[in-house]
Amino acid sequence: MEPLIFEKSYPGRVGHIVPAPSKELIRELGSEPSIPEPLRREKPPFLPEVSELQVVRHYTRLSQMNFGVDQGFYPLGSCTMKYNPKICEKIAYMDEVTMIHPYQDPKTVQGALEIMYNLSKWLSEIAGVYSTTLQPAAGAHGEFVGMLLIRAYHAYHGQKGRDEIIVPDTAHGTNPASASQAGYRVVVVPSNSRGCVDLDALDAAISERTAGLMLTNPNTLGLFEEEIEEIARRVHDAGGLLYYDGANLNAIMGKTRPGDMGFDIVHFNLHKTFSTPHGGGGPGAGPVGVVKDLDKFLP
């Protein structure tokens, strides 16, 4: 077992010695602290006193205890986490991308705005939807936005009594969580013997309270929902909407499109299907695309 970095600490040991400022620099900047008194620490921070070599070896050993996309196929939960080229991560971390400020003069960020505009158009075409928003900050955030879009749509049409979201028993775990967080009652439908949505069970679950159905296709078992068009017809006939979880979009991208299957809302995981950096608690991108009838509700 690798000890904690603090257990390797030894009083007085340093990794780097910071050179003293030159006399010229002191004359230019002054010798008094620039941080106001109320904001200064009263005592040094509790940090391990270790050498650079100890730090490198410690975290290298820890990394070798883990398994990730750089070492092999990595199915995390119900998703396929793929290897992303390092050049893509390098581009994503460029100062021109990461150092843009929300209140920056728009004239100075036209290149970034062009990238985002084109991306939204390309994603719409890939998914077969009318428009796409890049506002959601992560995959689960995109799910939550999708649920709020469904709510806004039904409220606009005076159908606030639609308070149920149907999810299959193979659903990604965040699906029922996102629906519940949005205030919906979650109704679970079982799979049939082939691992797909049981149509009889779906019929039994659909009612005048149905707001929509959340579905991943291919599903979590890696199976394509063969009856997807029939599923879409039944949900739409009941007045509900169809939400597509893009966890496994890789499997069908370029061959078919969720919008062509009858989905009204499509959520993307750009770190899975494309190559934004894999995050630890949110990769920073969860775009959501919609059909034309839902465009007015997009953030």
Domain identity same for 136 and 227:
yes
Domain identity same for 228 and 99:
yes
Range with the poorest average pLDDT among 15-29, 122-136, 184-198, 212-226: 15-29
The reply to whether 111 falls in a domain is yes
Residue 92 structure tokens: 């994503």
Q: Tell me the average pLDDT across 133-160.
A: 94
Domain identity same for 122 and 255:
yes
The reply to whether 151 falls in a domain is yes
The pLDDT value recorded for residue 76 is 60
**Helix (H/G/I), strand (E/B), else coil: 221:** coil
Residue 282, pLDDT > 70, answer no
Total residue count of the chain as it appears in this document: 299
Domain identity same for 53 and 99:
no
What whole-number distance in Å separates Cα of residue 210 and Cα of residue 203? 11
The reply to whether 133 falls in a domain is yes
Pair 218, 238: CB distance under 8 Å: no
Show which of 65, 80, 112 is a domain's final residue. 65
Per-residue pLDDT band at 121 (split at 50, 70, 90): very high
Domain identity same for 225 and 121:
yes
Pair 68, 252: CB distance under 8 Å: no
Q: For residue 76, what is the enclosing H or E element?
A: strand 74-76
Show which of 13, 48, 65 is a domain's final residue. 65
Domain identity same for 50 and 113:
no
Domain identity same for 31 and 101:
no
The reply to whether 73 falls in a domain is no
Domain identity same for 52 and 118:
no
**Helix (H/G/I), strand (E/B), else coil: 203:** helix
Per-residue pLDDT band at 268 (split at 50, 70, 90): very high
Q: What's the mean per-residue pLDDT of the chain?
A: 91
The reply to whether 48 falls in a domain is yes
- Residue 162, phi then psi, degrees to nearest 5: -80, 95
Domain identity same for 59 and 127:
no
Residue 195 structure tokens: 């691992």
Residue 33 is part of which domain span?
A: 5-65
Percent of the chain with pLDDT over 90: 69
Domain identity same for 242 and 293:
yes
The reply to whether 87 falls in a domain is no
Per-residue pLDDT band at 280 (split at 50, 70, 90): low
What whole-number distance in Å separates Cα of residue 299 and Cα of residue 295? 9
The reply to whether 30 falls in a domain is yes
CATH number at residue 173: 3.40.640.10
The pLDDT value recorded for residue 33 is 80
Domain identity same for 61 and 100:
no
What whole-number distance in Å separates Cα of residue 205 and Cα of residue 184? 14
CA 238 vs. chain centroid, Å, equals 30
The reply to whether 21 falls in a domain is yes
- Number of compact structural domains in the chain: 2
pLDDT in tens, 53-109: 999 999 999 999 988 777 877 766 556 667 888 898 888 888 988 899 989 999 999
Residue 144, pLDDT > 90, answer yes
